Amino acid sequence: MANVQEPGIGSPVKAPLGQPPVGVAPGTGGLAGRGGGPEFGDGGPHGLPVADRQKTIVRHNSIEDLGRRRIHVRLPSHFKTWDDLRKAARQRLLRMHYESGVGHIGGNLSSLDLLLSLHHDILWPDDQFVLSKGHSAGAYYVTLWTTGRLPEEELRQFHKDGTRLSGHPPTSGIDDILFATGSLGHGLSLAAGLALGKRLEGRSGRVYCLMSDGEWNEGSCWEALIFARHHRLDNLTIVVDLNGLQGFGTTREVADLDPLTEKFRAFGVPTAEIDGHDRGAIRDALGRERGSLAAFVARTRKGCGVSFMEDRMEWHYLPLSESQYLQAIRECEFQ
């Protein structure tokens, strides 16, 4: 792949697409050591209890005040702007899925901006995150790569025999990933349990759960919402990636729940709609301390950033051919 000539770009790729520039330790955010040095964890044994994981996540550098909750905005040194980071993340995600021959690219691209903003702008050291839509594991791995939490060499093993980076989040081995969520409809129950556990043990921090719109066809999601509302879990934030498509068609065709926002409100859950591809909107909405259970319905586009994938149901499944991959990379390069 190092010598692929991209159509219209005009020069050989000097470093594998989506990797840090030459001279920067891959996967470190410009810092030395596995996973970015002691600031991001020292590479010690995995498998800590769930309550102790994710504690080493730190965000620093520039700080903005958004209400009572400060947002720590950390941009790895080899990304000069947010657009650079976003482009590199998209290209690395496409390359990872292309090289492994794995599908689910559309839903990964719809959730990538949400994951990037959550992990660079929102999460604090005492917060916890649950990816309920487990088929977006690729976007989650790439997001952790942008923060220095996963090294480049691990991304190269995505979906291969013996890898830690399976097609859906693994049961153990990566401290940031608290639960395996390959089966849809369970993430909110797990997140609600974490939030209740924090309250009972007197621990600070919020729990964030990123869900798909299609998994709200599962009754377990509504049971978890009832549980969260009944117990007044004011330290829980629900984010729904509403791209309008699921495995067998549009969400309206399969089991219409529109408008999802109003249904959440009917359960007594404060809910707002946001643009799931607008970093400022995501940061402003999720970053303010609300002191209550909150839900955000993020309007997104399946396959966001790639013209032939956007709003196409088949990209829930299809892997990329070489020509499609090169076109997708080129489109991301010039956005």
State residue 209's pLDDT score.
97
**Which tens digits make up the pLDDT trace of 273-325?**
999 999 999 999 998 766 889 999 999 999 999 999 887 878 777 889 999 99
27-30 LR contacts (CB < 8 Å, sep 24+): 27/145, 27/148, 27/150, 27/151, 27/152, 27/153, 27/154, 27/155, 28/148, 28/151, 29/76, 29/77, 29/78, 29/146, 29/147, 29/148, 30/76, 30/77, 30/78
**Which tens digits make up the pLDDT trace of 222-239?**
999 999 999 999 999 999
State residue 295's pLDDT score.
96
Helix boundaries (H) for the chain:
82-100, 105-117, 137-147, 152-155, 187-201, 219-230, 251-255, 260-266, 279-287, 322-333
3-state secondary structure (DSSP) of residue 199: helix
Whether pLDDT at 70 is above 70: no
State residue 76's pLDDT score.
61
Mean of all residue pLDDT scores within the chain: 78
* Banded pLDDT at 102 (limits 50, 70, 90): confident
State residue 290's pLDDT score.
66
**Which tens digits make up the pLDDT trace of 182-199?**
788 899 999 999 999 999
CATH hierarchy code of domain 81-333 = 3.40.50.970
12-26, 45-59, 62-76, 153-167, range with greatest mean pLDDT: 153-167
